[in-house]
A and B are shown apart, each in its own frame.
Chain A
Amino acid sequence: MSCTNCTMVCPTCFCMTVEDGNAVDGSQASRTPVRDSCFTLQYSYIHGGSVRSSAGARYRQWLTHKLATWHDQFGESGCVGCGRCITWCPVGIDITKEARADERRFLGRPLMQIHDLEHILVDHPFVQGMHLEHVRTLLGCCSNRHFDSGEHLFRGGNESNEFYLIREGNVSLESDSPGARSPAPVESRSGGDILGWSWLVKPYRWHFDARALTAAAVLIVDARCLRDKCDTDHDFGYEILRRFAELMVRDVRSMSLQLIDMYGTRRA
């Protein structure tokens, strides 16, 4: 098939090429970076022909890059389990099925990470008691990500199109305070916590900064994907909203307790 759809929607595909252009009068030459796909013949073209001339070899390149060599290159999986490549494949090629077939054929042991993502999500307190069907719906919007210590998860003022289920590590919610040299920490969150509800209400903009205090592992939930699913499946939407309402109430309560300074060491 080699239509390149999967590589165009894959959130981790990074390949690019450069297109050469000329002004008609020859006075100028331009070079424009554009997205490229390993499914094209030009991608691996060297003198004498393409290195990967069969579609099978090109699919192997993509599949092994996502699931195997990515680990060697970047220390994590090149597949985040989002399922976009499956959704957009015009002939229904399913990376999970292919990987499962391969694992049976070559390894005799599991290789795929999508199951792992489900295990991770099921373990998170946010989904405790949630219907498995709804967990699976949520899973479709999830991806796994690591942040280094000091790295920002998001910045106040930026568009908010996701929220975070923290798996491990500490994350600090911070606010710019006038006159202060560095942002003031508002609250810290850690493993098992949820971060962010700005995605829920218009204009979908972050109010605070969030910064990883230690290396942090999180599940990112794509809010655009989730909002759509909430709109079409009201049962699911109600379930999510109920859980977020709990969260909001808890947050507001803890903030008011912080405000009244219950330890009583009020500064003059």
Chain B
Amino acid sequence: MDVMTPQTVRVTEVLKETHDTCTLKVEPRNGKRLPRFAPGQFSMLYSMGNAELPISISSDPAITETQCYTIRSVGLATQSLNVMKVGAQFGVRGPFGHGWPMGEARGKDVIIVAGGIGLAPLRPILYEVFHNRELYGRLVLLYGTRSPQDILFRRELKEWEKKKDTLVMTTVDYGGMSWKGNVGLVTRLIGRIRLDPTRTIAMTCGPEIMMRYVAYELQDNKGLDPGDIYLTMERNMKCGCGFCGHCQFGSHFICKDGPVFRFRDINKLMNKYEV
């Protein structure tokens, strides 16, 4: 099976984002090319002999020579990737899945709500919007993390704040004495923005429970249609292309029907435990 054969890539840069998260920039070996990807798509990363796991591509889709993967170390599989140094090699399969609805977002205001590591799969949207600024309306990024130490892409967040028609707001669950920013859940930020529900599209990524409440907040307080709210799901995956059965969420295969879903389509399933 061709889709099951990984392509070897080499780490060219390791960016330490936080104490447990790093971004690996990789290039293909032997002059081969990396396949193009759409924002929101993911790849299966294979650290040889250890494990294979799905990780979203967090880099600029316009850059074709290299790709970035932002990985938080939470278990053995992610740890084995997290400790990689420049020059290390691992396998990549993909990209898989349906990405963010960028076509549908054209001409609309874009609200992005991220939680923790959930900012990584959303970052390609920001690159895409900034490259084609005239195609999209206002851009709002609401970002919540556990603590100030867990904020990803700090330097870029500062750059994005200064861009035209862009609002970036960050909040943390617990701040500490030196933190002068917002403290509280990311859903609290939604109440503070103004948006026109007829020409806005929302995309969110984070823990499932966060995404659910973000969607409720956007719906109930801002009048957004559940068809205009998109979120990205996560499940155990072994193949990435609908064979292995692991990522089933009701009748959806998250790997090929998602990972990005319209909230309206999975709303009911999200209310059930252990689906």
Contact = CB atoms under 8 A, between A and B. Distances in A.
Interface stretch (B10-18, B24-32, B46-54, B97-105): B46-54
B246 A65 contact: no
Given A54-B274, A69-B250, A15 B236 contact: no
A44 B236 contact: yes
Given A36-B244, A46-B234, A47-B78, A73 B251 contact: yes
B49 A61 contact: no
Dominant SS among interface residues on chain A: mixed
10 contacts: A14-B245, A16-B245, A20-B49, A20-B51, A22-B49, A29-B48, A36-B238, A47-B78, A61-B248, A69-B248
Contact of A16 (B49, B78, B234, B244): B244
Report, nearest first, the 4 A-B pairs whose CB atoms are least far apart.
A57-B274, A29-B49, A15-B245, A72-B251
A48 B74 contact: yes
Contacts of A46: 234-236
B147 to A, nearest CB: 18
Interface in B236-275: 236, 238-239, 243-246, 248, 250-251, 253, 273-275
Contacts of A238: none
A57 B273 contact: yes
Interface of B is mostly: loop
Nearest to B52: A18
B176 interface: no
A37 B244 CA distance: 10
Interface in A9-57: 14-18, 20-22, 26, 29-31, 36, 38, 42-48, 51-54, 57
A135 B198 CA distance: 61
A51 B236 contact: yes
A36 B245 contact: yes
Size class of the contact patch on chain A = 20 to 34
A29 to B, nearest CB: 3
A40 B49 CA distance: 22
A43 B246 contact: yes
A34 B51 CA distance: 14
Given A17-B238, A46-B235, A57-B275, 20 more contacts: A14-B245, A16-B244, A18-B238, A18-B239, A26-B49, A29-B49, A36-B238, A36-B244, A36-B245, A43-B246, A45-B236, A46-B234, A47-B74, A52-B275, A57-B274, A61-B248, A61-B275, A68-B251, A69-B248, A72-B251
B274 A52 contact: yes
Contact of B274 (A20, A36, A53): A53
B264 to A, nearest CB: 16
A98 B99 CA distance: 38
Interface residues of B, number: 25
B235 A51 contact: yes
A60 B57 CA distance: 33
Interface of A: 14-18, 20-22, 26, 29-31, 36, 38, 42-48, 51-54, 57, 60-61, 64-65, 68-69, 72-73
A70 to B, nearest CB: 8
Contacts of A52: 274-275
A52 to B, nearest CB: 5
Given A21-B49, A22-B49, A47-B78, A16 B248 contact: no
Contacts of B74: 47-48
A46 B238 CA distance: 12
A200 B171 CA distance: 74
Interface in B195-211: none
B246 A36 contact: yes
A20 B236 contact: no
A43 B236 contact: yes
